[in-house]
Amino acid sequence: MKKILLYVAGVFFLLIGAIGWILPVFPGWPFVFIGLSFIAPTLAARLKRRFLRKFSKKEIVFFDGWKKAGINMGFTTRHFPSVFHKTDDLLDIANQNSFREAFRRLSLPKYDGVVVDKFIFLNQVHGDHIAILDDPKMLKCEQFIRIPETDAVLTNLKNVSLLVFTADCLSIYLLAEKDENRWIGLVHAGWRGTQKGIAGKAFQMIQQKSGCLASEIRILFGPKIGKDYYEVGEEFTEYFKASLKRKDGKLYFDLAGENRRQLIEAGASCDKILDYELCTISENDDFYSFRKENAAAGRTISFINKF
């Protein structure tokens, strides 16, 4: 019975993916991968690896699915020319200059000469504090602005790029738009932030600020450690019973799956959550992993801004 249900679910997602490819309403490829993972998981894994070769050696991966809404977004790879090991590296003027130069050279030509005036970065303490930027007067004169004790940020301001640094943790992009009132958000979700429900809290806050329906909010997951590699201790059974599995006597945590569950519980629509399904461990040639590389690991920089 379980196999039949998986097969039916797989066919359903394949059909949605086919519609997405034929009609440019939404990206179809994530649904094709999901469908194949139910029906033919080995083939899905092989196709995924082949598909990801297009990311190989790229310095920035862009997501164009929200471009029509006036959103510039994506994330760096380990081939990005500037390497950072912690968020506060951006306090250094030389690092700011190298990042700004590389970001503008690689990112802005793709988005019709957009000028990003400010870069907002968080010091990411694995908490659940969410910063709200809705008044230009809140921004300092500096081009790089650090928000302390914060792991998520929401804004309705244009040409302000939100940044999140990760190397196994999950970056979550949010877009809520009602008429001309467009809000964007970026969340840093490690297991501690996930335990505190930061994704659901950011989702509810952006819904409140934008005034749009919960079912209309769009969400994207960036690179993160995959569920087959995130080995954890028994204490995780106290926090994440629904997102754990045992294999060969070891316990593994599905970080993306738990955040998806919390977002849906907060009101998000399943079909508005897209996941690149990029794993920092299995795709370590292109993405940094603290768990695999320890202190030598650089950071993937997720970014999003309105234009």
Sorted by where each starts, the structural domains of the chain and their CATH numbers stand as: 1-55 (no CATH), 58-306 (3.60.140.10)
Q: What is the mean pLDDT of residues 87-116?
A: 82
How much of the chain exceeds pLDDT 90, in percent? 68
Question: Which range is least confidently modeled, 111-120, 136-145, 157-166?
Answer: 111-120
Q: What is the mean pLDDT of the chain?
A: 89
Sheet with 300-306, strands from edge to edge, namely 60-62, 71-76, 300-306, 160-166, 118-122, 144-147
Q: What is the mean pLDDT of residues 260-267?
A: 98
| pLDDT reported for residue 89 | 95
Q: Using the structure block, give the residue that is written with the tokens 């249900």.
A: 5
8 Å CB contact between 201 and 219: no
In which band, very low, low, confident or very high, does the pLDDT at 216 lie, cut at 50, 70 and 90? very high
In which band, very low, low, confident or very high, does the pLDDT at 130 lie, cut at 50, 70 and 90? very high
In which band, very low, low, confident or very high, does the pLDDT at 45 lie, cut at 50, 70 and 90? low
In which band, very low, low, confident or very high, does the pLDDT at 42 lie, cut at 50, 70 and 90? low
Which string of DSSP letters, residue by residue, matches 4-65? HHHHHHHHHHHHHHHHHHHSTTS--HHHHHHHHHHH-HHHHHHHHHHHHGGGTT-SEEE-GG
In which band, very low, low, confident or very high, does the pLDDT at 8 lie, cut at 50, 70 and 90? confident
| pLDDT reported for residue 140 | 79
pTM of the complete model = 0.83
In which band, very low, low, confident or very high, does the pLDDT at 189 lie, cut at 50, 70 and 90? very high
Question: Which range is least confidently modeled, 139-143, 253-257, 277-281?
Answer: 139-143
8 Å CB contact between 17 and 28: yes
Task: Return d(Cα 306, Cα 71) in angstroms, integer.
Answer: 5
The letter for the amino acid at 15 is L
Spatial CA neighbour of 187 closest among 174, 201, 172, 175: 172
Backbone angles phi, psi at 216, to 5 degrees: -100, -10
Sheet with 231-232, strands from edge to edge, namely 231-232, 250-253, 244-247
Q: Is the pLDDT of residue 49 over 60?
A: no
How much of the chain exceeds pLDDT 70, in percent? 88
| pLDDT reported for residue 26 | 64
Task: Return d(Cα 80, Cα 196) in angstroms, integer.
Answer: 32
Q: What is the mean pLDDT of residues 249-255?
A: 97
Residue 41 burial (CB count, 10 A):
12
List b or e across 29-38, with b for residues whose CB sees 16 or more CB atoms inside 10 angstroms: ebbbbbbbbb
Spatial CA neighbour of 220 closest among 80, 62, 106: 62
